[in-house]
Amino acid sequence: MVSSEGLCGSQPPIAAPVTQYGVTKPISMAGPTAADIQRSRDLEKFLVQAGLYESKEEASKREEVLGQIQEIVTNWVKQLTRLRGYTDQMVEDAKALIFTFGSYRLGVHGPGSDIDALCVGPSYVSREEDFFFVLHNILAEREEVTELQPVPDAHVPVMRFKFNGIPIDLLYASISHLVVPHDLDISDISVLYNVDEPTVRSLNGCRVADQILKLVPNVEHFRTTLRCLKFWAKRRGVYSNVTGFLGGVNWALLVARICQLYPNAAPSMLVSRFFRVFTQWRWPNPVMLCAIDEDRLGFSVWDPRKNPRDRTHHMPIITPAYPCMNSSYNVSTSTLRVMMEQFQYGNNVCEKIELNKAKWSALFEPYLFFQSYTNYLQVDILAADADDLRSWKGWVESRLRQLTLMIERDTYGKLQCHPYPQDYVDASKPCAHCAFFMGLQRKHGEIVQEGQQFDIRGSVDEFRHSINMYMFWKPGMEIYVSHVRRKQLPAYVYPDGCKRSRNLHLTPEQPSYNMSRNNGVAYQAESGEKCLKRKKDPDGEDSEQSRLDKRRSPDRNQSVSPEIISCKLGSTCTGCSTSDLDEMNRFAEVNTSSNSSGISSCSHEDIGNESTAGSSEGSNVGDDNPSSSQSDSSDDLKSSVEDDHADQNKVFQDGLLKDLEVLD
């Protein structure tokens, strides 16, 4: 009798199956070299020195705050249970549970960052009345709570506040249980039974975070890489879901996908591979950590084959928990273009780091936004006080991306916009004020016809009407949009306060748009006599400021401006192409139909459907009967901004095309 060992003795041993994370095979199973390990150590050392890790004291304070909030919501539910006539046993068993999600749950939060938290309560405790009124009043009476701001009509309803100085974003979900079990598994699909869509969106923040941690091969490597990429995105001006870039969950999903493709890689390798892969990714092929779970409970899932609206998404990044959604539907052609350029910048720097020609600090050089364009739109936001500004700014910010869409639509994509996610404050103004800026440039390679102009007055008017939809407008809430050239930028946008020495002298015919609710028409600027006179060089520019700007302008060979870096969508980087990446893209193409990148319209539905990050600040449940008077400081500030814009604004009447020059 021949043994089984004898039968197979001459055959080679069978290789152990490779664990597959995600929807495709890994690109590489290679582990780190000694040089990779050293670069990872250098990276972690840099992140520590950059102050991205909180102290033990702050970590303890966060845990203490979460414990106090847990106690508050439990007492709140018990109080409501008693008031509604339930038995003493029900009152004793009644509870609410606090779950965390976002950066805190993923373990990548830093000093001063907020805590995203979800309160899960029983079926008889409602969001509309019990959470936003009863619990709101309980929190308002506590001295530890400050800056309490309920936002009940957001895409994901949220209550924002600070508890002992720790920022909290608190969501609520009422599940179909009379008593919330203490060991509730929020990842189980049963928590979605008999709940509405706002509740699903609230629950899915936690469910997505849990799935991400389950779907990456090495959690610690994932955390270090994500912490690095989030810091990089903020330094390069592409971290903002509301503006049309990517927010925390989007970056987490992208990093998690790279961890799946390189399961044995060290953090330094993962950062490098991140840029290598996503400079070549053929959007709109989706990024997915797992296969999309088909419709099981009747909720809509992302599927461009069935949902025409999903075909318009430019950069789909799909959440891994049912119902699977595109977490990055705010991305537009313009913001995708900017991000692709920044990915190319990151890839170039990482290649130098791997060749020991650069250090990690080079990757995190801040993006020189105010040196990268010749022309900008300036959006000034005013309010009577800080509380009004907080809600008014949130509303305007959540709709700024619509202005980008409108301008590119109305100029047929020939005028490209680069919205910058950071707001700037003029400390010299007498009351609440901030400003956003948007870079403008001709589309590269666009043939310019003589006398051609860009007239965006209609785009601005449409933007004004969308802003005027704000339900909680109060006197003092104003918005101004004007065109400024680089030499006209206000001093407060520069860290060192560097500014032109004198104002430009403009003619009185140049208008500025005042978009306050009670004055929605364009007005003529003040007389040119108010403008400061200045000496000009032969080209008509301020000679001193011209010299300053030339000294500040980056070298063309080293500049990272969008006008100089050209990384077209779908282009490849020499030496980075892999058959595995092509296979992934082909796999993704099976899961989505081809879609057009063109923007041909901007519907009212688009304006109303905002992201969590944007819409959550979009309204205020404060006093909706505003007083008829405004403070003197508000009047002074309004007058000051009007004068500034009367001097600066020339985009709406004279056209932009002749001003859209490349950098000197």
CA angle 441, 446, 447 (to 5 degrees): 125
Residue found by looking up tokens 């909180």 in the block: 54
CA angle 329, 415, 554 (to 5 degrees): 95
Amino acid letter, residue 467: I
Give the pair of three-digit tokens for residue 613.
């990050």
Residue found by looking up tokens 């004291």 in the block: 57
DSSP characters over 152-166: TTSSS-EEEEEETTE
Taking the C-alpha atoms of residue 34 and residue 45, their distance in angstroms, rounded to an integer, is: 17
CA 20 to chain centre: 31
Task: State the catalytic residues.
Answer: 103, 114, 116, 169, 230, 239
486: Cβ contacts below 8 Å, ≥ 6 apart = 370, 371, 373, 374, 375, 376, 549
In 11-151, alpha helices (H): 34-49, 56-83, 88-93, 102-106, 136-140
Establish whether the linkage from the previous residue to 323 is cis, with ω within 30° of 0. yes
94: Cβ contacts below 8 Å, ≥ 6 apart = 74, 77, 78, 80, 81, 86, 122, 179
Taking the C-alpha atoms of residue 395 and residue 516, their distance in angstroms, rounded to an integer, is: 13
User: Cβ–Cβ contacts within 10 Å for residue 14, how many?
Assistant: 7
C-beta separation of 323 from 196 below 8 A: no
